[in-house]
Amino acid sequence: MSGKKQNIESRLFHGVKEFRENDFEQNREVFKNLESSQHPHTLFIGCSDSRVVPNLITSTLPGELFIIRNIANLVPYYKENHDTYVATSSAIEYALHVLKVENIIVCGHSNCGGCRALYSDRLQNQLPLTRKWLELAAPVKKLVKAKILNEKLKPCRRDMLTEQLNVVEQINHLLTFPYIKERYDKGELNIMGWYYVIEKGEVYNYSHDNQVFERIE
């Protein structure tokens, strides 16, 4: 094993020790209560990006968030008999039917490689599985291109526009799940769209009424 690999492994092992001796001890009662069950209040659907840490940006403890992470924080359309995208859809199903979460957050972020990949030719040959997955965001790509053309937006705004509109699109996908739509329409389920700006530590919440992202103060 190379010196660099040994150093990383050592850091990870040390991190486990630090957790056990500090974080765990400080929250021993929390973990004791989580011994046999979980009761999260929120389903958090976020990107797999290593810079997005749901519990950190929400200041939540273990047991509060049920987390789904994938490339570009995507949600499949509902199908009664799923044969694709089962990992994400099954986690959504479990969160709603078994855990009875009261909130869903779809969280996108700045500088998202998945969203940028929508415009990359590299997907065609080198990343076939990623290309297939990102088909779920195809409507976003079309919408962004139309906005740039029709509203004469500068192309440099493309990435942020894609990332934010993708959050809105995935909320629309969530509402194709009948049990989500029913609870949402009854006011029993709160659905939020967030946009996290990594370099500023800011989170913007999507206003369904104003159709804009507003910074959480």
Q: Determine the 3-state secondary structure of 152 from DSSP.
A: coil
Dihedrals phi, psi of 200, to nearest 5 degrees: -110, -10
Q: 């150093």: which residue's tokens?
A: 7
How deeply is 152 buried, as exposed, middle or buried, from its count of CB atoms within 10 A (0-12, 13-18, 19+)? exposed
User: ∠ CA 183-167-97 to the nearest 5 degrees?
Assistant: 30
Contact 136, 75 (CB under 8 A): yes
Per this entry, what is the length of the chain? Answer: 217
State the Cα–Cα distance between residues 83 and 185, nearest whole angstrom: 28
Report the catalytic residues.
Answer: 47, 49, 51, 109, 112
Cα 209 vs. chain centroid, distance in angstroms? 22
- DSSP of 11-68: HHHHHHHHIIIIIHHHTHHHHHHTSS----SEEEEEE--TT--HHHHHT--TTSEEEE
